[in-house]
Structures are given as C-alpha cells and as structure tokens.
Structure 1
Amino acid sequence: MAQLLLRGQILADATGHPHQIDAVLFDKDGTLSISEPMLHALASARVFHARRLLQQRHPELPTTQTDALTDLLQRAYGLSEQSIHPAGATAVGSRAHNLISTATALALVGLGWPEALELSEAIFTATDGLHGQGSQHQPIATDGLHTLVEALGEAAVACAVISNDDSPGIEAFLASQELSSRFQGLWSADHSPRKPDPAAVQALCAALGVAVERCALIGDANSDLRMARQAGVPVVLGYGAGWTMAPPLDPSFACLSHWNELEVRATAA
C-alpha cells in the first residue's frame, strides 16, 4: 500500500490522517490515453456516413435536412473542426450511447424510430474499423504514465481501468503500450452496471479484492469523479491534460495536469 502526494502534499482525510491506498482506478480515454485523434476521425466518419446513407435512402429530402443532421450530430458528438469536446458523447459515452444519440438526431430530421435505429447501426458498421485496433490513429499513453504506473507497482498498489470502451479496446490499448502486466483489472462497457453507476466502482474493487475506502480514482470527466465520490472512494482526482480543450472539471475535486505531479510513497502493511 502507499500514500499519494499531489504536488508535494499528502492526500489526507479531513482530520489530516493520510489515506492508505491499495489500488488506483483509471479512466482510459483522455486519462490513460491520448485518444482524441482517433475519436475525431471516428466521429467525423460517422457524420459523413450518416449524410451519405440518409441521402441514399431518402433522396427526396432537401439539403437543409441533411445539413440539420450534420449540425445535430456534431453537437451530440462534441465534434468541432479540430477537436473533440472532452464532455461530449464521443469522449465520454459508450458505443451504445453514441448509437442512441445518432438515432435521436435521425429521428429529429424526420425518420421514424425503427428506421433511425436501423440506419444508425449501418452508420456504425461502416465506421467501426476506425476505432480501437483498426484505427489509423492509435491512442498513445499520456505523458509520464509509465513512470507513475511503475511506481505504483513497486509500492504494491494495484492498477485497474474503468472505462466505457469495450474490453477488447481496453486490452488492445494496454498491450500496445506494454502495460498489460501492470494492470490487474478492468471494468468496461461490456460489464454491468456500467459507469457512471457507483456500483461499477464497487464491483471493480470487489474483483480486485480491495476495499473501496482504500482506493483512488482518476478521471477526466465529472461523471467519473462524482461516481467515485458516491461510491465512497476517498481519493478522487481529475486529470486535465488528455484533450486539446481542457475538460470542464468540477473545482471541488483536486486536479492534476501531468503525472509527475503525483508521487507514490510506499508504506508498511
């Protein structure tokens, strides 16, 4: 186990007693990984194929309708010309969340719900190769991550991922960064309940064999941080350096912008 220091200050409870940490739970996209180039390409492709398929199936629709669809999808996905909004559906949501967002946009431009869902599935099938292992924009680890994870391992602190990516996507990222052996668990969109349900945190801690009260969680979204707080995690930290646009994190949470701001101090069991 270990104590964590943020910018030289021991993370402690309200009485000043240092928290003893046995495990750190990390979000993936925007925290462990710089995924924005991949996610930007993916969201852009989904918009392109949504326009293409809508025009193919409904050539009678005016251009104003396909333009309206583009605007709706860009806003839902958090997609701008050069970046992804770190609180948008592409950055934070699961594949299922984004599929429902796409179907909702299609319904808003006039499709019935059954067709909107079916067309969304076709759009995602056309673009799934741009995500995960098939992407030409492979995510890379955030700067300094390897050093931190190594320090946690040396202090016998378990590491785990809690993400709305699927399990193969998480495993592929860890393998690509030679981090698989450093992580002892994961909780993905394939698990139930999914984040941001606090029960997801509790279930992951149980799988690790670690008490929630002896964990830390680090993420780049308010939904992650509030989930951890509700689950009873004592050390909850925001990470702000994984995106072009800084995530709009709740100021009630302590935040860091580089992994070298976090120090691991091993303590006796």
Structure 2
Amino acid sequence: MALLLLSGQPIGEVEAVLFDKDGTLSISEPMLHALAKARVFHCGQLLAEHHPWVGSAGHHELKDLLERAYGLDGEAINPAGTTAVASREHNLISTATALSQVGLGWPEALELSQRVFSATDSLHGQGSLHRPLATEGLHDLVDQLARASVRCAVISNDEVRGIEAFLDSQAIRQHFQALWSAEHTPRKPDPAAVHALCDELGVAPARCALIGDANSDLLMARQAGVGVVLGYVAGWRSPPPLDPSFPQLRQWADLQARCR
C-alpha cells in the first residue's frame, strides 16, 4: 500500500497502478505518424496496382479520407484520433471504409486493407519505423513505485508483442506484473477490462490508480470504480483534450508514491 501524491497533495492510497501505453508510457507519436503515412502510401500504391479504374480523382479522395481517418495533421497525430487511440482492427476497418468510399466493394476493400497492413507490418518488423521512447521521468516513477511495493500493469489497445517489446526496450518489464491488450476480451474501453486486469493483479479497482491520455480511458476507469484516475497530457505535441473533471499530470515528477 502506498500513498500517492500529486504535486505534493495526497490523492489516494493504492496497491497498483494501471498505465495506458501509447502517449502515456511511451512517446509514440513519431512512430504512429510514420505508420499512418506508410499506410496511406501503400494504400494508394496497391489501389493503383489492383484497381486502376479508380483513377486520379479517386486517389486524391482516398488520400484525404485516410489522412482524416488516421488523424494525420502535418507532422503531428491527433491524440484523440484512430491511429492514437483505436486498435489495429479498428484502424483496418476505417481503412476499408475509406476504400469503399472511392468505389470498392466491401470484400475488395477489406482484402486490400489487409494487404496494406501486412506491408506496413513488414516495415515495422524490419525497424524501418521509429521506435517509441519512454516519456520523460517514467523510469524514476516506475522505480519509485517498485520501492513502495506498488504493482504496475499496462492496459492498452496495442497487441501483446507491441506492449512487451516496449517494456523490454526500456528495461522495465520486471516492474510490470500484468498487461491487458487488444487481444484480450473484453478490451478497453469496456470497464470489464479493468475488472479483469485487477483480478489478474489480485487488487480491487478501488485500490488502483489508472493513468491514461484519452477520455475513453478515464471514463472507463471511473465506471470501473478505480480509486484514483489521472489524465496524462505530456505524451503528444498537442495535449489531448481531456475532461477537466479528472486531475492531470504534465510530468511524471509531479507524482510521488510514499510507503504507508
């Protein structure tokens, strides 16, 4: 059990902290931006190869639809958009939906989207895309939580391999006792995902804190009965538009854990 303090003020006693990954644990924007751009490129390339009848007007429309669907904004990513928040499956569906808008039938749109994602997965596996870094001060916070005997877990819409690869790359895997991914059922933002993760940790939701960078995370935690719910706003170029009713963290150094 530890007392959490935000900017020196007590905010609750906890036995575990549940972290979102992208935009909270990790600075994922450069990688996600590169991934979204690669998907736009491969989608246009494969559309021209397999459905040349769409024509140049259709290609321009597709590019615009995909950029808006993925939340691409110049060199930034919309922190509330599908690339930042949604699962791989949901991003694939949004891609297929854009393709259907330029004239493809749904089976063809879905098949082409799967080809696009396979092509970009290959780039990711070869290390051609940016690798996410830890948000500033994360290592110090995780060490502090470990010293206070607070359990840590990840709840994310990334896949298991993506979560584990990040934790391993930062040498903090040993501090995380559980994870909940897009491959688990139910998945976030279903409050039942929080309950299932807490069951795995052996900690009641009321004895947990959840920290995330999306309103869907924070509302999920509130509905699940999590004791301390914090918004994290320092993981993106543009701060995510979080519900002001939740306390917000602008740097990890503002959060402290004291043994009880």
Q: TM-score range by the shorter chain?
A: over 0.9
Q: 2:9 aligns to what?
A: 9
Secondary structure in structure 2 of the residue aligned to 1:184:
strand
CA distance in 2 between partners of 1:135 and 1:245 (Å): 25
CA distance in 2 between partners of 1:98 and 1:253 (Å): 28
Letter in 1 for 2:174: S
Q: Is the CA contact (8 Å cut-off) linking 1:133 and 1:169 kept in structure 2?
A: no
Secondary structure in structure 1 of the residue aligned to 2:60:
helix
Secondary structure in structure 2 of the residue aligned to 1:251:
coil
Quote the offset at 1:206 in angstroms: 0.2
Note if 1:106 corresponds to 2:71: no
Quote the offset at 1:167 in angstroms: 0.5
**How does 1:133-144 map onto structure 2 within 5 Å?**
134-144=127-137
Q: 1:254 aligns to what?
A: 247
Structure 1, unmatched stretches of 5+, are 12-18
Note the aligned Cα RMSD (angstroms): 1.1
CA distance in 2 between partners of 1:63 and 1:33 (Å): 38
**How does 1:1-269 map onto structure 2 within 5 Å?**
1-11=1-11, 19-131=12-124, 134-267=127-260
Secondary structure in structure 2 of the residue aligned to 1:244:
coil
Is the alpha carbon distance of 1:77 and 1:190 closer, same or farther for their aligned partners in structure 2, counting shifts above 3 Å?
A: same
Q: 1:15 aligns to what?
A: none
Q: 1:14 aligns to what?
A: none
Letter in 2 for 1:105: A
Letter in 2 for 1:6: L
Letter in 2 for 1:3: L
Residues 89-140 of structure 1 show CA distances to partners (whole Å, capped at 9, x for unaligned) of: 0100111010000000001111110000000000001101344784541111
CA distance in 2 between partners of 1:206 and 1:60 (Å): 53
Residues 34-74 of structure 1 show CA distances to partners (whole Å, capped at 9, x for unaligned) of: 01111111000000111111111222223111111111111
Structure 2, unmatched stretches of 5+, are none
